[in-house]
Structure formats: C-alpha cells, structure tokens
Amino acid sequence: ARVLVLHGPNLNLLGVREPGIYGTTTLAEIDRQLAERGRELGLEVVTFQSNHEGALIDRIHAARTEVDAIILNPGALTHYSYALRDALAAVGLPAVEVHLSNIHAREPFRQHSVTAPACRGVIAGFGARSYLLALEAVRAILQEGKD
Ligand code: DQA
C-alpha cells in the first residue's frame, strides 16, 4: 500500500524553527525515518511539503487515485482551513492528522482543529515520533477487516 505524508506551512523549517517547541529533527530526517519504517511495515511512503494551501489541496486531489491513505500535519492551516478539510472529505481516503506539539496544551487558537473531523484520528505531542505513530495507525486502518 502507498501512503502520502503531507507537511503544511513552515514545516520546511523544522530543526531551526522554535526548537523548544518543535524539536531539532529536520523535515528531511523525518521523511527518511518514515520511508525506513514504511519499508518495515510494507508501506510505500510518499512525502510532500508546501507552504501553500492550494498546493496541498491539489496534492490531496491527486492522491484520490494514487494512494491508500494520507498522513498530514497541516501546520497552522489546522486551525482555520475549511478548504483543506473539504478536500480530505472529498477524496474520502483514510487520513491521520499529526502534530509535533501537543496542541491542546498550547494557545487557545491552537486547541481547535477544523481539519480533524475529516480524519480518522489525531496524534499530537510526541515530536517527530508523532509521524511514526501515525504510520502505525495507518497500517492498522489498512489492515482492518483483512484478518
Ligand atoms: C503544528 C502545530 C500548529 O499549531 C502550528 O501552526 C504548526 C505545527 C505541530 O506540528 O505541532 O505549524 O501543526
């Protein structure tokens, strides 16, 4: 199976961006870890980062016929992008939302996700490991009903 991992705005700066909150692991390192863990789980991982809402939406649309599940960290778009939420609902693929930080323990504006209702679940607060946990969740979802 194939999994698309989407990283939203400002995540290209991971490693240097507010390391006290987001850690020192770079996005390239996260993508590398995902590819490696994916191989172990029998999942082909395709990753994409954009600072542009429309580019992320285009990628979700293309995913409809190309992948089996989506993992996404929408960055700040989490908190206000109804367009991203609608794109996820439109393609209907199982999706898992990821956050490096525990958004529920932060500023009030970060405590609500408008994209999460279009996802099967959310993993937040485990740093770079959140993405690997999401990959485990995706494998479980894709495995459902197969045994
Ligand atoms: C984030 C949390 C968001 O509030 C923030 O805007 C980000 C990163 C996280 O991974 O913790 O860009 O999605």
Region 125-140 average pLDDT: 98
> Domain residues for 134?
2-68+92-142
Q: What tens digit of pLDDT does each residue of 46-78 get?
A: 999 999 999 999 999 999 999 999 999 999 999
20 found inside a domain: yes
Element (H, E) at 20: helix 19-22
Q: Which pTM value belongs to this model?
A: 0.97
58 found inside a domain: yes
84 found inside a domain: no
Residue 99 CA: nearest ligand 1 atom is 10
**Is 100 labelled as part of a ligand binding site?**
yes
**Number of domains observed in the structure of the chain:** 1
Q: What tens digit of pLDDT does each residue of 85-122 get?
A: 999 999 999 999 999 999 999 999 999 999 999 999 99
126 found inside a domain: yes
Count of CB atoms within 10 A of residue 48's CB? 18
Residue with CA closest to ligand 1 atom 1: 75
147 found inside a domain: no
The residues, any chain, with a CB within 8 Å of residue 124's CB and separated by 6 or more, are 97, 98, 99, 100, 101, 102, 103, 104, 130
Residue with CA closest to ligand 1 atom 2: 75
Cα(80)–Cα(126) distance, integer angstroms: 23
53 found inside a domain: yes
* DSSP secondary structure, 51-112, as one string: S-HHHHHHHHHHHTTT-SEEEEE-GGGGGT-HHHHHHHHHH---EEEEESS-GGGS-GGGS-
- CA angle (42, 48, 49) in 5-degree steps: 140
| ipTM reported for the complex surpasses 0.85 | yes
Cα(41)–Cα(89) distance, integer angstroms: 26
Residue 147 has pLDDT above 80, yes or no: no
Lining ligand 1 with CB less than 6 A are: 10, 73, 75-76, 78, 99-101, 103, 110
Cα(21)–Cα(5) distance, integer angstroms: 21
Count of CB atoms within 10 A of residue 49's CB? 21
Q: At residue 52, what is the residue type?
A: H
DSSP at 42: T
**What pLDDT, on the 0 to 100 scale, is given for residue 145?**
73
CATH number at residue 132: 3.40.50.9100
**What pLDDT, on the 0 to 100 scale, is given for residue 43?**
98
**Is 73 labelled as part of a ligand binding site?**
yes
**Is 58 labelled as part of a ligand binding site?**
no
